Amino acid sequence: MAIERTFSILKPDATARNLTGAINALIEQAGLRIVAQKRIRMTRDQAETFYAVHKARPFFGELVDFMVSGPVVVQVLEGEGAVLKYRDVMGATDPSKAADGTIRKAHAQSIGENSVHGSDAPETGAIEIAQFFSGNEIVG
Ligand code: GDP
């Protein structure tokens, strides 16, 4: 399988509970390498652009409010089949449906405050990475 990159966000519920290290440990244990990482405060513009695909959904306003409610950690993860591998490590969107051993099973609080984001395909991953990182910030 090819070496890929995927985009990850540790969401405000995770940073608020001091879980950056605990979540990074699960990421690294899965064989993914954190090749870029920074802690930022997302602007409302950035959050609305990032989640534009969900604009028509009833939870869009709540989602944007949540993403700007506190610091987030944005990351680039690299590894074999990184996109699908990270989706597996994250677990289901709704933590009550997430499998044992996943980040969301261990740490997520609700379907909205679910601790992590991961890209759903390599193409979206590339777009999402470019929204937050310039090339020289990614060190593989
Ligand atoms: P993901 O790819 O597993 O993150 O899930 P989606 O792409 O379906 O949704 C994006 C994000 O929107 C999720 O991670 C949640 O933070 C949020 N979200 C999804 N469904 C709901 C919902 O029913 N209510 C709320 N408040 N947020 C939701």
Amino acid 1: pLDDT: 77
10 Å CB burial of residue 21 (0-12, 13-18, 19+) is exposed
* Residue 73: strand pairing partners: 10, 39
d(CA 50, CA 2): 26
Domains and their CATH numbers in the chain = 3-134 (3.30.70.141)
Residues with catalytic function:
117
Q: Where are the alpha helices (DSSP H) in the chain?
A: 12-16, 20-29, 44-50, 60-67, 82-90, 103-107, 122-132
Q: Is 92 in the pocket of ligand 1 (CB under 6 A)?
A: no
Q: Which residue has the CA at smallest separation from atom 1 of ligand 1?
A: 93
Q: Is 8 in the pocket of ligand 1 (CB under 6 A)?
A: no
User: Tokens 């990421």, residue?
Assistant: 27
Ligand 1 mean position, distance from CA 63 (Å): 8
Residue by residue, pLDDT tens for the chain (140 residues) are 799 999 999 999 999 999 999 999 999 999 999 999 999 999 999 999 999 999 999 999 999 999 999 999 999 999 999 999 999 999 999 999 999 999 999 999 999 999 999 999 999 999 999 999 999 999 99
Amino acid 47: pLDDT: 98
Ligand 1 mean position, distance from CA 136 (Å): 31
Ligand 1 mean position, distance from CA 93 (Å): 6
- What is the Rg, in whole angstroms, of the alpha carbon atoms belonging to the chain? 14
